[in-house]
Chain A
Amino acid sequence: PCQLAMLRKAQEFFQTCDAEGKGFIAKRDMQRLHKELPLSLEELEDVFDALDADGNGFLTPEEFTTGFSHFFFSQSNP
């Protein structure tokens, strides 16, 4: 159940970042969040690079979910 909750949240956040519904997140999608989140462009770029495991410049739902799951389970299991 915990994993299901995590997957739902990851999907929800992915859609927040991928507002156009392309199926991937590009760096400019991440930079667009600058208006909505209290993070600087530099921080958002760091987030993107941290999530972009293969470094191809696009975040897939799998990469996003992997990054989110690390955060999610580190929060729920201190």
Chain B
Amino acid sequence: DPNMKAGATSEGVLANFFNSLLSKKTGTP
């Protein structure tokens, strides 16, 4: 299902993005 794949991908990039922000704030990668 392409829609499901797109959803999973955007979830992945969002998780990556927010984790990076969390690391930036706490200073721990």
The smallest beta-carbon distance between A47 and chain B, in angstroms, is 4
Number of B residues whose C-beta is below 8 Å from A? 14
Q: How many residues of A contact B (CB 8 A)?
A: 22
* A20 close to B (CB within 8 Å): no
Q: Which of B9, B10, B14, B21 contacts A37 (CB 8 A)?
A: B21
Where chain A touches its partner, the secondary structure class is helix
Answer yes or no: B5 CB below 8 A from chain A CBs.
no
Chain B residues, CB < 8 A from A46: 9-10, 13
Show the binding face of A for B, using Cβ within 8 Å.
9, 12-13, 16, 36-39, 43-44, 46-47, 49-51, 67-68, 70-72, 74-75
